[in-house]
Chain A
Amino acid sequence: MSGMAIALIMITLLYFGKSFGFSSNLRTLCTLTGAGKKVKFFDFDWKTQKWNLLFLLGSVLGGIVASTLLKSEQPLQLSAATVRDLKTLGIRFDGQLEPEQLFGIHALSVKNIMLMLVGGLLVGFGSRYAGGCTSGHAISGLSNLQVPSLLAVVGFFIGGLVMTHFLFPLIF
């Protein structure tokens, strides 16, 4: 169902003459803060990306709708093996979307802030370096049978596996 919805969103955007790629917004947001004056990469007409910024705004609104009008009281059904693995790392599964222990506002610690900042930095840097994120490469790119997108997705996976299996035991 959800996969169908995602494909449908991509096709709808194509029909409106645009291509589905969320991380471009990060570049546009940098441009909006005036980064274009110093760095050429950000020197472009942000108005060409207005549609994508509206899509971003919509996604925030969608999050609000999903947590209010469409809120589900069902706890997340995480596989028992994952619950066990996370427990070994000292991360408790609480049935929410995000672990309160890492992202909760009351759990804010220097370590958590650093993890979020560094993690975000890697995502931002990596998606621009690779020229796209999950939506641009894994969805749009693979749908268009692009070998470069396949390479990027393989990269996403290697990075994710290294973080999960080798770095998590060192971090947590």
Chain B
Amino acid sequence: MKGFKFLLAGVIFGITMVKSEAVSWYRIQEMFRFQSFHMYGIIGTAVTLGIISVYMIKRFKIKDVLGSEIMIPNKDNQWTKYILGGLIFGLGWALTGACPGPMFVNIGYGYLTMIIVVAGALAGTYLYGLLKSKLPH
């Protein structure tokens, strides 16, 4: 079972998202209204630890399980797509209270109507693929 570890990582992710309440529409509203430190605490901790670990990985040239050095590809240096794409994403994030991960976690939790949100997200992804060449990047 080579894929089992990824399945397990997903299970831990799902449980973490529910337990931290990061899957909650209410918490996302609270965040965008700056009325609690809750979400900022979670993201802030993750990023702080992430920065330290990625720095260590690079500094000590830590190798992955296959023995090759861990390489994290840099993002390309365009501006438009990050800002415009980010903006569109943010509109949807606040409306549904769910980014792509939490949508699926919510379905598992029992909020079956989130299937509609996922259907919308798939349609949106498809639409992007269709229009990609016509969009400014």
Contacts and interface: CB of A to CB of B under 8 A. Distances in A.
A35 B127 CA distance: 11
Interface string B37-81: 000011111111111011001000000111010101111111101
A63 B124 contact: no
Contacts of B53: 7, 10-11, 143
B9 A58 contact: yes
A165 B23 CA distance: 21
A2 B30 CA distance: 18
A30 B129 contact: yes
Main secondary structure of the interface of A (DSSP, over half): helix
Contact of A99 (B25, B33, B92, B104): B25
Nearest to B36: A79
Interface residues of B, number: 109
Interface in A40-78: 40-42, 50-52, 54-67, 70, 72, 76, 78
A133 B101 contact: yes
B20 A17 contact: no
A125 B7 contact: no
B22 A2 contact: yes
Interface in A88-108: 93, 97-99, 102-105, 108
A103 B25 contact: yes
Given A82-B33, A103-B113, A120 B11 contact: no
B85 A155 contact: yes
6 contacts: A97-B24, A143-B47, A145-B51, A160-B28, A161-B32, A163-B94
Interface of A: 1-19, 22-23, 25-27, 29-30, 35, 39-42, 50-52, 54-67, 70, 72, 76, 78-79, 81-82, 85-86, 93, 97-99, 102-105, 108, 112-113, 115-131, 133-135, 137-149, 151-165, 167-168, 171
